[in-house]
Structure formats: structure tokens, C-alpha cells
Structure 1
Amino acid sequence: MKNPILLDIPSQLDTERLILRAPNRTGDGSIVNQAIRDSFSELKAWLPFAQKLPEVEETEINLRKAHINFLKRESFRFLIFKKETNEFIGSVSLQGIDWAIPKCEIGYWINTKFSGSGYMTEAVKALTNFGLNHLKFNRIEIRCESTNLKSRAIPEKLGFELEGVLRNDDLSADGSKLTDTCFYSIIL
């Protein structure tokens, strides 16, 4: 495989209802930060980054670092926008990339007010297809806490195989207890 830095990676992917765009615009931090604030209680239960409300500047820094990682081909974070209204919906990423295999993991979160409309399933499907067909990954994984039923529904709908449940594999988002991790994958 050629050096990943030479890969032509589009900064935007389109689906029927969504635009997935790399976090490459100044000011993305304020819209993402607002979504984190709007969904804080739901995100706090599952995501270590959402244990305290970030300042807008912290979110902006995080997104600029994500853009650098995108350019370095170390991970590919996309911000999700609703095509009709340009509202920010959430974030989806190809992360934990191992170019030697090649394989990666998909991570995601959604603004609570858009939950239950199939948007995240649509975004994850688009990123899965992109990873398998454009980047030629041989394996894509999704890991989530066993009790996070909404998150588990996405790989199950998209034909990922549950390879197993890793017992006492991780700490809860707040670090207070051991949790089990569901391990899903899809392969070529």
C-alpha cells in the first residue's frame, strides 16, 4: 500500500439526507459545543469526553486537532449536517486506523434532538461504505458499552457481526465502575 498521506480523501461525503464534512472551518467549535450542551446528560452517560461541559474554545481546539489528524491520515472525523436545514446533527469518525491491515473503528455521537430518526445509522452506513470501498479497509469495528442499546442498534441494523462481549473490559464514562464492551465488525 502506498503511503496513506498520499491518499485522496474527500472532505465531504453526501447521503440522501445528510452532509458529512471534515471539521475544517473556523467556528465549527461553537456549533459542536452547542450540540454537546444540548445533549450533555445523554452523552455524559456514555462518553468520557462529556464528563464536564467544555468551553467553546476547547471544542474548537479539539476540532482543529481532528482536522490535523484528518490531513495526516491518522483518523477521519466528519461533522454531520442535515441537508435540508444545514443543522448540525452529530459526529462520526474512522479512528484507531491500522494501515498495515488495513482496519479501523467507527465512533459516533448524536445531538439528542435528532435521535431516533435514523440519521446516525445513515451516517455510519456511509462511512462504512467509504471505509470498505474507497479506503479498502479489510475490517471495520464498532465497540460500545453493552448497556448502550441505542448505540448497539446501529451496527446490528447495518449487518455488523457481534464478535463477542468483552467482560469487565473498560470503565464507565465517569470512571466509577467496570463495564462490558460489545465488539462488532464487518469485513470484506
Structure 2
Amino acid sequence: MNPLLLEIPLYLETERLFLRAPNQSGDGSIVNEAIKNSINELKDWLPFAQTIPSVEETEVIWREAYINFLKRESLRFLIFHKDTNEFIGVTSFEGLDWDIPKCHVGYWINTKFSGNGYMLEAVNELTELGLNQIKFKRIEIRCESTNLKSRSIPERLGYSLEGVLKNEDLSADGTKLTDTCIYAKIPN
């Protein structure tokens, strides 16, 4: 089936959160503010967070993310708290291979919301969407071996650690080689 014909929701809801595709003007502004608030934590793990982008640059990135969502090239969701409407973070399906079909999940959180289980809840919802509705045959989560907070997400959600690739990637700042953990979940 052509992935453009897949019915993929623009909005998902969990007990405490809602996840929304980046389909609103101004999304870049709220994402940019979260990057500013979280830059010290994000820069250790994410190449895009080595510097704080301008609001305009972030807006362009999120408008492109919506285009990519519609083209089914990546499926990013912004995460919000249901009660307060506060922006919590981002989770996404990336590296989509529709021939298998498979993907990997990415995520990052606004530091002020870290430690509340929000990302676990959001990634669980995305995993359920991927396996049960989109019908992915494989979902991966890849993260640096020393990023214990990130590793706890797939471990708590029942993903299997399939291996650790030694010297597989560069650190977020590009200064050293790092090891990458590959977790995967497949349909039962």
C-alpha cells in the first residue's frame, strides 16, 4: 500500500497527555522556548541542540516537519499536558522504511517536565500506534549507551536490547566516538 493512503491520526491522547502533529502556525515558537530552557541537558545527546536556533529557524523546521508528516517521510508529534496545555516535548517515527515496514522512535523532553513519566507515556502511545494501527513490523529505539535516561524508556516499555554497536556514531558535539544501543519491538 502507498503510505500516503494510510490514515495516520494528527492527534493522539493518553491519560495525562495529548500528542499533536506539527500542523499549527507558531509551533516553532513553543519548541524554541523549550530548547532554550533545556539546552544544557539536550546538547549532550542531540546534534541539533549544540546552539539555540532562532525562533524563525525553528518555525521553518516545524513547518517542514508537517510537510514530511503529510508525505509520510517522518511522523513527528508535539507532546502537551492535557490539563495545562504546556508543551512537554517531542516524539516521532523517523527512518521510515515502508517496504518492511519499520521505523525508529526519537524523543526529547523539556527539562522542567523530566522525571514525571511523561515521555514514557508518550512513547508508549506512539509504539501502540505503530504496532497496532500503522502495522509496523519493527520499531527501533537507538540511543547512546551512556544516556541512561533515554535507555530507560525502551527498557520499561518491553523493547529488547538487540545489541550495542561500538564506535558507531559521533557524540552530539562531534568530538568523540560513541556506542549506540539498539532496542527493538516487533508485533506479538
Indicate the TM-score class for this superposition, using the shorter chain for normalisation.
Answer: over 0.9
- Matches of 1:89 and 1:30 in 2, distance apart? 13
- Matches of 1:74 and 1:45 in 2, distance apart? 26
Q: Give the alignment's TM-score, normalised by structure 1.
A: 0.99
Deviations 1:65-122 (A, max 9, x none): 1000000011100000000100000000001000010000000000000000000000
Q: Aligned residue for 2:70?
A: 71
Q: Percent identity of the aligned residues?
A: 71
Counterpart of 1:68 in structure 2: which amino acid?
A: I
Counterpart of 1:15 in structure 2: which amino acid?
A: T
Q: How many residues align?
A: 187
Q: Aligned residue for 1:93?
A: 92
Q: Aligned residue for 1:136?
A: 135
Deviation, 1:8, is: 1.0
Q: Aligned residue for 1:177?
A: 176
Q: Which residues of structure 2 form unaligned runs of 5+?
A: none
SS at match of 2:44: helix
- Matches of 1:65 and 1:25 in 2, distance apart? 12
1:14 is aligned to 2:13: yes
- Matches of 2:97 and 2:28 in 1, distance apart? 28
Q: Give the alignment's TM-score, normalised by structure 2.
A: 0.99
Runs of 4+ in 1 over 6 A off after TM superposition: none
- Matches of 2:133 and 2:61 in 1, distance apart? 26
- Matches of 2:9 and 2:127 in 1, distance apart? 15
Q: Aligned residue for 2:34?
A: 35
Deviations 1:101-155 (A, max 9, x none): 0000000000000000000000000000000000000000000000000000000
1:104 is aligned to 2:103: yes
